[in-house]
Amino acid sequence: MLGVKIYRALLVFGNFGRRFWAPVALRRLEANLESWEKRAMRWSPKDAHQNSQKMTARGIRTKRRGKEILNHLRKFPTQIQHDPVKRVFDIVFSGLFLLAVSPFLLVLAILVKQASPGPIFYKSARLGRGGKVIQCLKFRTMFVDAEERLHSLLHTHANLRNEWETFQKFKNDPRITPIGNFLRKTSLDEIPQFWNVLVGDLSVVGPRPPTLIGPPESYLEEIQKLYGPSAFKILSIRPGITGIWQISGRSHIPFAERAKMEADYAESRNFWTDLVVIAKTIPAVLFSKGAY
């Protein structure tokens, strides 16, 4: 059926499909779901027996997934913004940068591996453009049980919970490894994210993707709580490795002010603004301004 084909297209094309196929997909999927429900009500035990268990299970999974897509499309009305010039710049800049620093990356990888048991890289779930869940790649700066420690700290320490809600960070984070402190202050832990730029999850310059601590099904609600009315405007563009927040004080800036800054950037950004941000990022990184 056409509705199923459109549903598959949504899964394949992601944000593109969500923007251009969503109106048609909603109508087709809703019609198909209603048809499936009516057929299910008319099935007799004999009919059910004649249908193979495999096809029945597949239909149930497809119906459930269709409802998930419908719910997601309904509650996420972001209009995705496209900027071909910015995308070309991101690819060229990131490719050349990774090529230039590849020997240095090998040294950092060895240091991370020697500092504490665990993998060299860490994948952090964030919300990207259009509400797509992306995995931001970083050098691991925390102990392997950092997520469990975070939930324990937020549950048992009110002062740390208030600090997290204000800044989304801890100034003296007990989860960080010895080499991790150095990597974070110099922002060297974020160099692997240039790979995220190459594959299209991030941009060189853009809003900072926030750390999400809830289950995946609550990510959209969580980010709306963090950003308020600015959430959909910020998520209309790709998040960035650097941005207005990083060059304006970083961790010293309360999250509410950061959200306003990044919403303003999403609305008025241009190529020359990005070049200025990149130029100002260099001294901010060298002098570790506002970093911890």
Of 168, 175, 235, 228, residue with least CA distance to 203: 235
More confident residue, 3 or 262: 262
Instruction: Return the SS3 of 75.
Output: helix
Instruction: Return the SS3 of 52.
Output: coil
Residue 52's pLDDT is what?
A: 47
* Maximum mean pLDDT: which of 9-23, 60-74, 156-170, 173-187: 173-187
Q: For the chain, what is the mean pLDDT? A: 76
Q: Which helix (H) or strand (E) holds 122?
A: strand 121-127
For range 197-204, the mean pLDDT: 95
More confident residue, 187 or 205: 205
Other Cβ atoms less than 10 A from the Cβ of 7: the count is: 21
Kindly tell me if the per-residue pLDDT of 68 is higher than 60.
Answer: no
User: Is the pTM for the entire model greater than 0.85?
Assistant: no
For range 174-187, the mean pLDDT: 86
Kindly tell me if the per-residue pLDDT of 30 is higher than 70.
Answer: no
pLDDT confidence band for 256 (50 / 70 / 90): confident
